[in-house]
Amino acid sequence: MKFFYFLFFIIAGVVLAGCQSKLSSDRGEVVGVRQRSFRPTVPYGMVYIPSGSFLMGPVDQDITFSTIGDNKQVTVPSFFMDETELSNSKYRQFVNWVRDSIAITNYLKDNKYYVQPKPGGGAANRGKKYINWDYVAKYPVWSDRKGQPSNNNKLNDMYYQGDDRVFDRNEIDVRMLKYVYAKMDLRVAANNQNDKTKRRSDAILRDTIAIYPDTLVWLSNFTYAANEPMAQGYFSHPAYQNYPVVGVTWKQARAFTIWRTRHYAAYSESRHLEPRLPYDLPSEAQFEYAARGGRIGTNYPWGGPYIKNARGCLLANFKPGRGNYSDDGGIYTVNVHSYFPNDYGLYNMAGNVAEWTSSAYDAAASTFVNDLSPTFAYEAKKNDPEILKRKVIRGGSFKDVGYFLQNSTRSYEYQDTAKAYIGFRCITSFVGQSITKR
């Protein structure tokens, strides 16, 4: 019995000593809250763009505009950028996610497709249901494979109906594919922070976006051109899966960045990983800085001043000469990995398709934007005049002449329009100490 008493006092002493150790481990000093160590990784399909300064705008070698164009020394922090324009295949992942979400939520209403609540609590027990995407991957919503239950009868209303059907085929009514999101507008929040009449909800941007690309742009953008094959197959045919997605508005491109942010956040939370900062479209300063690839005073992403290499081969997909579209190896768009990348490893920063940026267009923007991570952003309201709905596009496209391929050339398009020659790529900010370009 004495032995058991002795053992009890030893264990109690160890426990008390441990508690005392935890209570006094900081010795009364402010030592900070311990967190897990973090090592940034390059997101899939992206490249690291180091921080640095550059002269934004026309350079001395641009003889036509160097004496009259505005340029400005600016500094850009580090970020990650998609190495290519976003492809049809990657955008289709977004489309399919929205399609399946609508099918499961509004039509199937089958608990097998949702995360099953765990005993004892959790969000699933408070009335919120989450789709089990692992189950969807194993048992696809639209599968007709033998041995799997068919959902065709329940999903019939998602197809075109009546006179909208062609040869009685089941085709998804793409007008139903809408993405609903909410996004905190930090600029509005900053402007409202001293206004007692404003609430947090006033800085939350909410929208519902039809996300399917406009495939008819191949006809509406080119008068008297026989582009029906492109309209019929460019987004849907597997031959074009690694070609840049087109026919997306600026708002659709932004909706994709929000979905991409949430898509990774769901994965990282499920595995207790550190989150990334939100994905976004690049500002025009980020785009021009990345396009230059660390080179100073050059006209094009590959350097320049010529659009041909020493062998006489064209270095981008554009409209050479008087319109010999095939001379550069592509008549319309080409594979997103075509031609040589620039010194940062980025493909087609000039040519192929022009690209949306996050920046609003103002001809005099260089005179008033900051010289540290500059941009001019404006969230256009529905009733605003059209001039306030212009967004900067960069890079030039397969239908543009060589001038639009220059690093400094800026143009614009209206945010609610879709074009056959405009695509986009994403960026996400680098977290931590930037590595400065030397």
Determine how β-strand 354-360 pairs with β-strand 279-280. Answer: unpaired
Give the count of domains, the chain: 2
| pLDDT of 225 | 95
Does residue 232 share a domain with residue 162?
A: no
Does residue 297 share a domain with residue 148?
A: no
Residue finishing a domain among 175, 201, 225: 175
List, for residues 316-349, the tens digit of each pLDDT value.
999 998 889 999 989 999 999 999 999 999 999 9
- 277 contact partners, CB below 8 Å, separation of at least 6: 428, 429, 431
Please indicate, yes or no, if residue 436 is contained in any of the structural domains.
yes
In the chain, what percentage of residues exceed pLDDT 90? 69
| pLDDT of 40 | 80
In the block, which residue shows the tokens 């007692």? 196
Q: Which range is least confidently modeled, 13-17, 224-228, 260-264, 279-283?
A: 13-17
CATH code, domain with 383: 3.90.1580.10
Does residue 413 share a domain with residue 362?
A: yes
In the block, which residue shows the tokens 């929040």? 189
Please indicate, yes or no, if residue 405 is contained in any of the structural domains.
yes
What DSSP designation does 292 have?
H
Q: Using omega within 30 degrees of 0 as the cis cutoff, is the peptide bond preceding 320 cis? A: no
Does residue 224 share a domain with residue 127?
A: no
Residue finishing a domain among 125, 156, 175: 175
Domain assignment of residue 241, given as a range: 46-87+214-438
The Cα–Cα gap between 57 and 408 comes to: 5
Mean pLDDT, residues 113-118: 82
List, for residues 395-425, the tens digit of each pLDDT value.
999 999 999 999 999 999 999 999 999 999 9
331 close to 88: Cβ distance less than 8 angstroms: no
Please indicate, yes or no, if residue 390 is contained in any of the structural domains.
yes
Does residue 297 share a domain with residue 218?
A: yes
Residue 244, beta-bridge partner list: 87
| pLDDT of 436 | 58
In the block, which residue shows the tokens 């009364």? 28
Mean pLDDT, residues 7-36: 65
Please indicate, yes or no, if residue 13 is contained in any of the structural domains.
no
Does residue 218 share a domain with residue 75?
A: yes
Please indicate, yes or no, if residue 202 is contained in any of the structural domains.
no
Please indicate, yes or no, if residue 139 is contained in any of the structural domains.
yes
Please indicate, yes or no, if residue 56 is contained in any of the structural domains.
yes
Residue finishing a domain among 145, 175, 205: 175
- Following DSSP, what letter does each residue of 403-421 receive, concatenated? GGGSTT-EEEEETT---TT
* Cα→Cα distances 339→123, 155, 169, 229, 336, Å: 49, 43, 40, 25, 9
In the block, which residue shows the tokens 């209403």? 109
Does residue 275 share a domain with residue 159?
A: no
Does residue 323 share a domain with residue 224?
A: yes
Give this prediction's pTM. Answer: 0.90
Residue 89 has pLDDT above 90, yes or no: yes
Does residue 141 share a domain with residue 274?
A: no
Does residue 416 share a domain with residue 362?
A: yes
- 78 contact partners, CB below 8 Å, separation of at least 6: 48, 49, 50, 51, 429, 430, 434, 435
- Following DSSP, what letter does each residue of 144-205 receive, concatenated? --TTS---TTTTGGGB--GGG-STT---B-GGG-EEEEEEE-HHHHHHHTT-TT--GGGGEE
Q: How confident is the model at residue 124 (pLDDT cuts 50, 70, 90)?
A: very low
Helix/strand/coil percentages in the chain, nearest 5 = 30, 15, 55
Residue 15 has pLDDT above 60, yes or no: no
Does residue 410 share a domain with residue 320?
A: yes
In the block, which residue shows the tokens 């270095």? 315
What DSSP designation does 123 have?
G
Please indicate, yes or no, if residue 329 is contained in any of the structural domains.
yes
Does residue 230 share a domain with residue 281?
A: yes
- 75 contact partners, CB below 8 Å, separation of at least 6: 51, 52, 53, 371, 372, 373
Q: How confident is the model at residue 354 (pLDDT cuts 50, 70, 90)?
A: very high
Q: How confident is the model at residue 152 (pLDDT cuts 50, 70, 90)?
A: confident
